[in-house]
Structure 1
Amino acid sequence: MPALRRAVAVLDYISEACGEVSAARLAQDLKIPKSTLHGLLSAMEELGLIYRDRLGRIQTGARPLAWSRDFVAKSDLASAFHRYFNSPQAQQGILAGYTMTMTILDGANVVYIACSQAHQPLGVTFQVGMRLPAPFTATGKILLAALPEAELATTFAGTFPPPLTRLSVRDLAALRAVFPAQEARGYSVDDGEVREGMICLGAAICDHSRHVKAALALSVTRPEAKAAQISTLGMALKGAADQISHLLGAP
């Protein structure tokens, strides 16, 4: 059991750090003795749970991806995402050609459960299973705004994720301050909070009981956003989220 818990902790740490991890950093931050960690990493590498790149950094291996694909394949949310974006309506609409993603909330993070990549480089490659701090993402802002106030406060009790860029919100008060505007317009905005120069818009996806279950996002570079107009893309995104909600049984 201790070894299993440590292996899961290692995988969680690697996924949240987006792969910029060394064995020394793991030992220090997870407080695992170096000799114990060496054996654990060797076993995890042998089983395909991790691998080391040419610079010696530890990355998530292919085996967890196979598990995540199985989970996502059984998910109504991911199925509705792909069903909508594979439809003629979506492929001929204003959102065609943009990077689209869907996330769910997991504590203080969002987890990506569906992605459709555009050809334009964004500086971030979204992948199924990827995790990011929710307060900085467009989908996270939508999902966190839907939480009861007590649950929101508990989620960030005593801690708030460190900023990813100089534009990231710095605390819970700053996060709360963006909620009224995003509610009024129907979509959220991440303006360089995950990656400077990248703008993401988010919209809520609801189930049959009108509860927010996931969020849909569109990601563009700043020049693309200026050319296409944020408000136009935002309303189109909200429309797509409403259509996906309808596929899930929302009225």
Structure 2
Amino acid sequence: MKNRSVVRAIEILGLISESKDGLSLNEIVEKTDIPKTTAYEILLMLMETRMVHSEEGKVRLYKVGLRSFLIGNRYIQNMDLIQVARPIVEETMQKLNMTVFIAMLDGNQIVYLHKSEPEYVPIYTANISNREDAYCTSLGKAILSGLPESEQRELIGTMRFRQRTVRTIMDGDSLLEDLKETRKRGYSIDDREILDFVKCLGVPLFNHKNRVCAAISTAGLYSEERNIEEEAGILVGAAREISRRLGYEGDYYGS
């Protein structure tokens, strides 16, 4: 039987971790339906163990603590995926002189796990542990393209589409068509779907179970002068090598 207090503590910690600016006690209670007294006692315990810390202001805000960060960082460092991908990501970044990401799917969102960027980058990009909706990112669409259609439809059914730019995909049928095109091409495209001036490419990564497990992407300023085919070829090559080292023996990348 699950310990209710432990489950609630995990729920509160997860909720706080998704908030950039922190959450007040009232916000936590509202989002979790946990009684206020119980929520406060859990927060005290989380602060005592340095999983959460609080900041004073007009309203006391609770944020992820140092210990949570260290645990999460160790998890990422110990993942075979990141250990395998890191040198290939670095090499790809140097070849293209562009920011390169690794991300995994968590529900209907992606979580950025690794990032390699040139010394001078013209745009701000996501940071490690940031989350973003899968339907409007090259990373998300790349991962979704590697899933069976039944799983794609199940995940799409949980998505809430939001208009980010005039190019953002806004319904499930359009996303399914995009995923079919992604599968044919071998790489996904975020063509200014989140920001009007950013275009990204993504390719799925597969593990030893021949199962999609993550994706790799490039992010750069939109320009008609970008050689997308060349960029995609380098990215697909990187994805193929990472997947091979993870034990993948499927045929997603062709010969």
TM-score norm. by structure 1 comes to 0.81
Cα deviation per residue 1:135-178 (whole Å; 9 max; x = unaligned)? Answer: 22211111112222222233344x32352724543332221121
CA distance in structure 1 between the partners assigned to 2:94 and 2:113 by the alignment: 24
Q: For residue 18 of structure 2, what is the amino acid of its counterpart?
A: E
Q: 1:30 to 1:164 in 2, by over 3 A?
A: farther
1:79 Cα offset (Å): 0.8
- Name the SS of the counterpart of 1:102 in structure 2: strand
Report what 1:115 is aligned to.
115
CA distance in 1, matches of 2:168, 2:62: 27
For the 8 Å contact 1:165–1:192, the answer to whether it is kept is: no
The aligned residue for residue 43 of structure 2 is 41
> Based on CA coordinates, which of the two structures has the bigger radius of gyration?
2
Aligned residues: 243
CA deviations on 1:164-203 (whole Å, 9 max, x unpaired) are: 7245433322211211222232211123444453332110
CA distance in 2, matches of 1:122, 1:51: 31
1:75-117 alpha-carbon deviations (Å, 9 max, x no partner):
221111113234xx54652x2x422111222322223232224
Specify whether residues 243 and 162 from structure 1 end up closer, same or farther in structure 2 by C-alpha distance, changes over 3 A only.
same
Contact 1:199/1:219 (8 A) holds in 2: yes
Equivalence for 1:63: 67
Change (3 A) 1:116 1:22: farther
TM-score (normalised: structure 2) = 0.80
For residues 193-219 of structure 1, the C-alpha deviation after alignment (integer angstroms, 9 at most, x for no partner) is: 444533321101223454322210112
8 A Cα contact 1:101 1:126, kept in partner: no
207 and 8 in structure 1: CA distance in 2 versus 1, 3 angstrom threshold: same
**Aligned match of 1:78:** 82
Partner Cα distance (1:6, 1:218) in 2: 38
Aligned counterparts, 1:78-117, within 5 A: 78-86=82-90, 90=92, 92-93=94-95, 95=96, 97-117=97-117
Q: Which residue of 2 aligns with 1:246?
A: 244
- Could you tell me which runs of 5 or more consecutive residues in structure 1 were left unpaired when the two chains were aligned: none
For 1:213-224, list aligned pairs within 5 A.
213-222=213-222
Q: Secondary structure at the match of 1:228?
A: coil
67-76 or 118-127, larger mean C-alpha shift = 118-127
Could you tell me which amino acid in structure 1 is paired with residue 127 of structure 2?
F
| Residue segments in structure 2 that go unaligned for 5+ positions in a row | 250-255
Q: Please say if 1:165 is aligned against 2:164.
A: yes
Aligned to 1:6: 8
Q: For 1:61 and 1:195, locate their aligned partners in 2 and report how far apart those are by CA, in whole Å.
A: 31
Counterpart residue identity of residue 247, structure 1: R
Give, in whole Å, the separation in 1 of the partners of 2:117 and 2:65: 21
Residue 233 of structure 1 deviates from its aligned partner by: 2.3
CA distance in structure 1 between the partners assigned to 2:62 and 2:122 by the alignment? 24
Residues 180 and 125 (structure 1), Cα distance of their counterparts in 2 relative to 1, 3 Å cut: closer
Q: 1:199 to 1:13 in 2, by over 3 A?
A: farther
